[in-house]
Structure 1
């Protein structure tokens, strides 16, 4: 079916990936309708890290200038020992990094990224945004697609892109699987930077990750440096399958016990962290197919991953950029565009998914021999050795490369 205002591409989900996809498709001269389940567009959580593979896409979408108004451009990523407080290794993410990858490494508040993408979508005449749309399923009718809501309504379009996150309903069209609980939980929050001034932290412009057995803490500034974002992560020894969907495991009291013997800087972070909400950490296994006819998936609906490489949103933005390129290349032949998109993106994201799991095992190891080997490898590299991140941050696919 020819794409038109009456038969738009329907994007299910208005998070970071969904809005970036909608914007990219609109810039490829397609009409797009975004269906968001919540009453309003917004992001839950605090900070987010975006490497060059993501900021290259944001530059391409034309929103980096707006995002830069609220982002922070850190100079180093620093890996620390959570118990000794010793610096294990660092990575220069300043000028050398930008020159290498063609885009900056930024940290910012999730709501600031969401707002920049949302404002760009609102301003684009080919994007329509609808809220309060709980989607149950979708169907490919050959010459059209239809999306069905929990309220009994339906929307007809020329194609469907499922961007509805880790608990995706559209994913069920391709596989009957469930998110996998890692047995880790995260506590997140951002505090005013003036409070940090009296706290025991390092350079407030750097990104710190303190690692230890079955736990880590991440710290970095957001919102022009006015807030300090902190994430505390640990594996719960109280986890059991039968209580997975309750708040009886990964409690604040367990967090205090896990981190009681860490260094002063980590203890200070724990004392400042918000305890009102915890985030159990899930991913899913990679799948062999997420495209059928004029329906495809992107972002966490296609390849949810653990946060240990800070690549979840980055991979969603890669999806958005490449998907827009394939639609631009194939016009209204969405089936072919989606097949070409999947051919490139499925193996790439499956690799990053499994790498995130592996990296989690490495940083959280409880084995003293593995810890020793890991630390020796880290200590023997320089801050301008990009060997371990080239495969992630160096990904840069544009239409000219795939024609």
Structure 2
């Protein structure tokens, strides 16, 4: 049996048939960084140890080796280790009382209220409260071992994931990725494969808005390959992969991925565990299919699907209505139905103004360019001033 952590890591990696580059990609760290750890030039962090342990499925051997064999840690590193490994409060004095069920339920309720608010208003309204709530929950997770600490860590991971989404909606891609990766690390430390895998789905969404088809597909596939996420997360990952294939112009691959997503979604239990991940729409797959049909150039089909699906989206889900409503108007315009595109756009203006979404403005800009081809059309002249005002808002 290997001695140092690096030797043990190499032994298990080789046994799993993975190259160093493949393992680095799976745990979302650079190959150079992983090489230094494997060659004992750099000590592993608890997070990296747990990620490698999970991917290589070695039953905690790497986590134990990291805790046993690393050099003495500084105070800050001990705090991080306590968070990631769930060993309780290592910070010394000032530990608060163990939170009871009512306290944890209250923090969950606070998060759910912020999520509800995020459906209807600007991300700027909810971002700072989300960060403050995450800080509180994360601090309590550091101070409490056992089931209480794990539950708090899972809640902190879910808050981090949603904060990443709101950062993307605010147009802050750098923080969107940072919060998403934070969510992945916290969820892996707590042993939840769902949020860890969904973090890749979220990053794939960032790539989709950059119109980077290859990155969208690759990240969505990683979400399906790594860990053992439940059927809902795997379905949402397959949906994102399908959107990536559509962006690349591969209709067959897109339809295959959508079919796989539908089969997975059909197997999701009626009662999903808290907190639910992904879209709150009744049928997120069909909304995404309408989006994908537009990317494939099948705009009349896309508009028909989105017309049908948006009719069932509740009025309170303004962010969903804005996102797919603008895409529907774009599909109508691109299919030559200019009047219909302008009419549906006018119906969507209120939702777009309320949610103040950077991602929605991406489609609005494309829609403005498209409608500009009919600048003398009466319906276009009627909606264009409001469209320009929404695009000017930051």
Instruction: Provide the TM-score with structure 1 as the length reference.
Output: 0.22
Task: Return the structure number with greater relative CO, CA threshold 8 A, min gap 6.
Answer: 1
Structure (1/2) with the larger helix percentage:
2
Structure (1/2) with the larger strand percentage:
1
Instruction: Provide the TM-score with structure 2 as the length reference.
Output: 0.23
Task: Give the number of the structure whose alpha-carbon radius of gyration is greater.
Answer: 2
